[in-house]
Chain A
Amino acid sequence: MSAETTSAVGPVEGERLYDVDNPAPLIEPPRKRTKKSPKTARTNFELYGWLFMRLSGIVLVVLVLGHLLIQLVLDGGVSKIGFAFVAGRWASPFWQTWDLLMLWLAMLHGANGLRTVINDYAERPTTRFWLKNLLYTATVFTVLLGTLVIFTFDPNIR
């Protein structure tokens, strides 16, 4: 490892770590493209996911804005909300369907969005795996719990 040849960076103190025969390891970008294009994931999943985001987005604009309007603005605003108010609304199948639809669409829309964010930002396979696991668990739990409450709600619970 003699420093016979002068380097562009100039003389370095002590022994150099890297030279022509022993170059530094190259820094590869995250998830570098594999040699052959993987044939595995040729499904329509991403196509339907992409379409679902657009369609559910449009429906959610109506559902969520309507929800906020009813809950926060009309009829005395937020102060009217209480057990009786919720019980009254869920007595009608219309509001049950509205809330159920909003729950499912919002949760799936949000979960798919976060899945995309994880795909875009998490670099290491283990990080990706655990973040997605956490996301899916939380989504399934919230959707199931919400659905259960909407269908088994008992106004005489008190």
Chain B
Amino acid sequence: MATPTLDKVEDAKPASAPSPYITVTFRIRRYNPEISSEAEWQDFPIEIDPKERVLDGLHKIKWETDGTLTFRRSCAHGICGSDAMRINGKNRLACKTLIKDINPEKPITIEAIKGLTVLKDLVVDMDPFFQAYRDVMPFLITKGNEPTRERLQSAEDRERFDDTTKCILCAACTSSCPVFWNDGQYFGPAAIVNAHRFIFDSRDEGGEQRLEILNDKDGVWRCRTTFNCTDACPRGIEVTKAIQEVKRALITRRF
């Protein structure tokens, strides 16, 4: 996949513009149940500018080398939350990870996020993840008649839950949690973050119900404050802090 035009340009002025392209090895965990019951690592050497993102590398492989490589992506700009994957052992969004930031000298390992059923290559079954999300009732709950005007809220009240409104439901946090790896019944950080967003919203009146749900034996008390979720979150949400705030709310509610 040499790029003749670029090479020509370089020939014209060799000293001033060195090629930005380097060879990077993408070591991808492939799995296709229609071929084999075993997942296996496959190496893809690619020529790429290290200032590009891991997602661009995956595109290059899919479009130019092996069209069967399967992964999810939509926006490619860190908004839709569909391309969380385990890159060099850490959960990240492929579209927000620059190749130069993760040591391109060594092979870059890419695999599906853990704790969810792998369907093919990097695609996992997200249903259990969204089931936990739905179970915390992530919508505004109010009592009484609908007001005729907008529900007003002070800037401080809005600030209270600002951090947890940023979630894009990418599952990077939940699938980085060692408790979740071994026990899928745990609600997981993402569900708790989204419950937090409504529990601490002054306009919402369903906080009591949500706290009751998270008081479950597989709710917040299973959190071991490992901080993997906070490390993984591509939106920089302080996930563990949000979980601790829910725990505190549960305790102050009782005593």
Would you call B115 and A29 a contact (CB within 8 A)? Answer: yes
* Known contacts A31-B184, A32-B184, A120-B178; A17 and B37 CB within 8 A of each other: yes
Cβ-closest chain B residue relative to A41: B217
A60 to B2, CA, bound (A): 69
Q: How far is the CA of A120 from the CA of B224 in the complex (A)?
A: 10
- Chain A interface: which size bin? 35 or more
Given contacts A29-B181, A119-B183, whether A23 and B254 have CB atoms under 8 Å apart is no
| Interface contact B36-A24, CB-CB below 8 Å | yes
Which residue of chain B lies nearest to A50 when distances are taken between CB atoms in the complex? Answer: B221
Evaluate contact between B35 and A8: CB separation under 8 angstroms: yes
Instruction: Please report the total number of B residues contacting A with Cβ < 8 Å.
Output: 41
B182 interface residue, CB < 8 Å from A? yes
- CB contacts under 8 Å to B, within A2-19, are 7-9, 12, 16-19
- Contact of A44 with B35 in the complex, beta carbons under 8 Å: no
A154 to B245, CA, bound (A): 51
- Asked if B251 is at the interface of the complex by the 8 Å CB criterion, the answer is yes
Contact, CB under 8 Å: B185 / A34:
yes
**B117 pairs with A32, CB closer than 8 A:** yes
Give per-residue flags for A108-146: 1 if the beta carbon is below 8 A from chain B beta carbons, else 0: 000000000001110100000000000000000000000
B131 close to chain A: CB less than 8 A: yes
Known: A16-B35, A24-B33, A120-B178. A31 touches B215 (CB 8 A): no
Please list 6 pairs of residues, one from A and one from B, whose beta carbons are closer than 8 Å in the complex, sorted by A's number: A8-B66, A18-B35, A29-B116, A29-B117, A37-B131, A120-B222
Q: Which of the listed residues A16, A47, A50 has the most CB atoms from chain B within 10 Å of its own CB?
A: A47
Within 8 A of A (CB), among B114-162: 114-119, 125, 128, 131-132, 135
Q: What is the 8 Å Cβ interface bit string for chain B, positions 192-232, against chain A (1 contact, 0 not)?
A: 00000000000000000000110111110110100000000
Instruction: Tell me if B34 counts as interface (CB < 8 A to partner A).
Output: yes
Tell me which of B35, B118, B182 contacts A30 (CB under 8 A). Answer: B182
Rounded to whole angstroms, the CA-CA distance of A45 and B178 in the bound complex is 22
Contact between B128 and A32, CB atoms less than 8 A apart: yes
Contact B117 A42 (CB under 8 A): no
